[in-house]
Amino acid sequence: MVDLSAKKSIIKELQVKHFEIISDEKAKMQTYQDLSDAYKVPVHEVSKLHVSVTKEAREKVESMLPKKPEDLNDEDVVLIPRPYSVNKKGVRRIKKNSEGEEKLEIISKSSFFLRRYFVNKLDNSVLVEMVILEASGEIKVIMPIEKLSNNRAVSDLSRYGLHCTSDNAKAVVRYLADQFQMLKSKRDPSYAVFKSGWFSIKGKHGFSFGSNCIIPGFEAIRLNEKEGSAFQDDTFKCKGDEEAFYNKLNRLLALSPVLVFEIGVALSSPLLWVLGIDNAIFHKYGNSSIGKTIGMTIALSMIGKPGISGLIRRWRTTTNGIEAIAGEYNDIILALDDLSQKVGRTSDDVYLLGNGQGKQRANKDGTARDVEFFRLLVKSNGEQPILDDNDLQGTMARVIETKRSTFDGVGISALEIRELKSFFENNYGFPYRAFIDEVVSIVNDSSRLSELRAEFDSLSNLYVTHDNNYINRLVPVFACIHLVLRILSSTSAKIELEEGVIHNSVSLLLEDQKSRLSYSNDLPRRALDYVWEHILSESTKPEFITGQNFIPTSHRVHGSGYAILKKNLKKILVDGGFPYQSCCRYFKEQEWVWLDDKGDLLTIKMGGTSSACRPYTFDESVAFELGILSKTGDDIELLQNYMGIEHKEQTLAEFLKEN
């Protein structure tokens, strides 16, 4: 146990020496040993006390840092002194030889820079914040400016991942000195953008995607192209036959309202910040070969390279992996395919993407790390729906969901769909640059921006409904997609997209969403469908049961009937996340099923008298009365196939009697 007076003295000395020793491991350990000897306490106790000092110092430093602007984060833009350049390959210096030719001199293989400096109010010393970029993220080091003034001190930073040896230490010191002077004077810097999406320089707003930076009146480079980046070098480049691209695209836009909507989703992320809209997910679900992937491929070809080697990612990753790639796709688009391959709980990732915020994590000293924020419309595919997951009922205001095929009923064969997929995987990227140019131009023109927001408000009022609050919370997303499609149509004369086509597309998907939310809120009906799926998946055929096999609590004796489901009904419902008692009560009230004392689901119906119950064999008419089968005949055929019936004319009742 450390004596209280000794503890106070040690903390006081550590506070004085903190910034001197924090970035110098040898000096820190020597200080620990000196304090241990002076106050007769173990070294590890001194180390524990320094953790609290480090936390306190960090909090004081953070309180002195410049406040972030309300609209955009100025940390997304870094000032680099000329004639240096920084990218994923490290720091370079542009030099001219005797013949006037420009050549790049390698300063360091690490990507690093000084983000800012400030005066420590505790002792009036000047502190700088250095950022070192690694594949796993950024490392921040706050230290006195004196720590960067000599070769030896800078070489000590190699333990943070900085590539600095005796060979390049002098050049590194010069680079840091030049950058510090540039930060002080703000003279003639070059601008490097640290993150994808929106950024600001001196009141002007710009947009960064891949290695591209678009901002009026400034030259900026993309800095954060580190190894392991989500983007390949050619992700946002144009490729292929532009004329053929637009010809095929216009033909498909005229045929498929679903594709029109998907393209609107793909292009909407840049407007989320502009219009103040929350993140959302557009999820297409259904069996294979309904056009989920082809729709995603064509929509993403508007931006850049589609496919797994381009903009499409798989759901098959951890929640931490989803968070990492969402940050890299900020303000652009995150496309996730194959939801059925998801690792872990889907609900964790859906809430993460919908909230637009990563996990809160701690540094080794117990202080909070910076949280990853991102703005996105996520485009998702999968065989299973999201809204039917009972763990995800809270996402109803963030998920737009449809089972519609991209090319359902438009006369496009499976062979042509494969050909279209191949074409758009090799011809892509033509509309995006002009689209982003137009959006950036609008954002930097106050009058045009006001007009855009007024147009958005008008569209929101058009789509608002009075009977579903969940829909109304999604109305801004539908209005944004409509507005984006208008902008797309206006930026390129080669895209044939009329206002009526846009309105029909958005209205169609909005009606789908109303139906989906109505169904998702109907737990008993969903429970019945869930049980019915189990009926069809049973490997054993229904067995004949006599009235003596079960006696309900009312002691009414049933006649003969057929058991369709042999598994325990309660377990099935609970496994599906459904409330057992309320769902069973609903089943009985609707006279769809009767439950025996073991919880088995039986295909019988309550009779018209109070003294007896009449059993019904499972023929088609009773199936309709039970409410289990739809009148489309699809489920009848499905059950007949399951039962092994060869002729449709034969009813299930006849088949059961014969077998």
Q: Is 81 exposed, middle or buried (0-12, 13-18, 19+ CB in 10 A)?
A: buried
Which residues does residue 96 pair with via DSSP β-bridges, in sequence order? 102
Query: Are 347 and 459 within one domain?
Result: yes
Query: Are 315 and 416 within one domain?
Result: yes
pLDDT (0 to 100) of residue 541: 44
Give the list of residues 6+ apart from residue 237 with CB closer than 8 angstroms, or none: 304, 305, 429
- The answer to whether the beta carbons of residues 528 and 572 sit under 8 Å apart is no
Query: Are 514 and 531 within one domain?
Result: no
Query: Are 534 and 550 within one domain?
Result: yes
- The answer to whether the beta carbons of residues 481 and 265 sit under 8 Å apart is yes
Query: Are 113 and 254 within one domain?
Result: no
For residue 230, is it within any domain?
Answer: no
For residue 57, is it within any domain?
Answer: yes
Alpha-carbon gap, residue 143 to 17, rounded angstroms: 11
For residue 622, is it within any domain?
Answer: yes
Give the list of residues 6+ apart from residue 647 with CB closer than 8 angstroms, or none: none
Query: Are 508 and 375 within one domain?
Result: yes
Instruction: Tally the C-alpha atoms within 13 A of residue 18's C-alpha that lie toward its C-beta.
Output: 25
* Vertex 296: Cα angle to 294 and 300 (nearest 5): 120
Q: Can you list the pairs that 131-136 forms with residues at least 24 positions away whose Cβ atoms lie under 8 Å?
A: 131/78, 132/157, 132/160, 132/161, 132/162, 133/88, 133/223, 133/224, 133/226, 134/161, 134/226, 135/226, 135/227, 135/228
For residue 569, is it within any domain?
Answer: yes
Query: Are 558 and 486 within one domain?
Result: no
- From the list 295, 507, 510, 505, the residue with the least C-alpha distance to 381 is 295
Tokens of 408: 């359902």
For residue 456, is it within any domain?
Answer: yes
- Which of 46, 64, 82 marks a domain boundary? 64
Alpha-carbon gap, residue 599 to 610, rounded angstroms: 22
Query: Are 560 and 638 within one domain?
Result: yes
For residue 58, is it within any domain?
Answer: yes
- Which of 501, 520, 539 marks a domain boundary? 520
**How many structural domains does the chain have?**
4
Look at the block and give the residue holding tokens 């789509």: 463
Query: Are 450 and 535 within one domain?
Result: no
Look at the block and give the residue holding tokens 């699809």: 634
Q: Give 202-256 as a DSSP string.
A: TTEEEEEETTEEE-TT--EEE----TT-SS-TTTTS-BS-HHHHHHHHHHHHHH-
Query: Are 447 and 375 within one domain?
Result: yes
Alpha-carbon gap, residue 454 to 613, rounded angstroms: 64
Block means of pLDDT (10 residues each) for the chain, 659 residues, are 77 74 74 86 83 67 43 61 78 77 81 80 76 75 78 77 83 88 76 81 84 79 49 78 95 93 96 92 81 90 90 84 84 87 70 79 58 86 77 72 83 85 94 94 94 94 80 91 96 90 94 80 70 58 40 34 47 73 65 46 38 35 38 44 43 46
- Which of 520, 539, 557 marks a domain boundary? 520
For residue 229, is it within any domain?
Answer: no
Query: Are 541 and 465 within one domain?
Result: no
Write out the residue range of the structural domain in which residue 343 sits.
242-520
- The answer to whether the beta carbons of residues 94 and 102 sit under 8 Å apart is yes
pLDDT (0 to 100) of residue 298: 95
Query: Are 258 and 393 within one domain?
Result: yes
Amino acid at 409: G
pLDDT (0 to 100) of residue 490: 92
Which residues does residue 400 pair with via DSSP β-bridges, in sequence order? 282
For residue 231, is it within any domain?
Answer: no
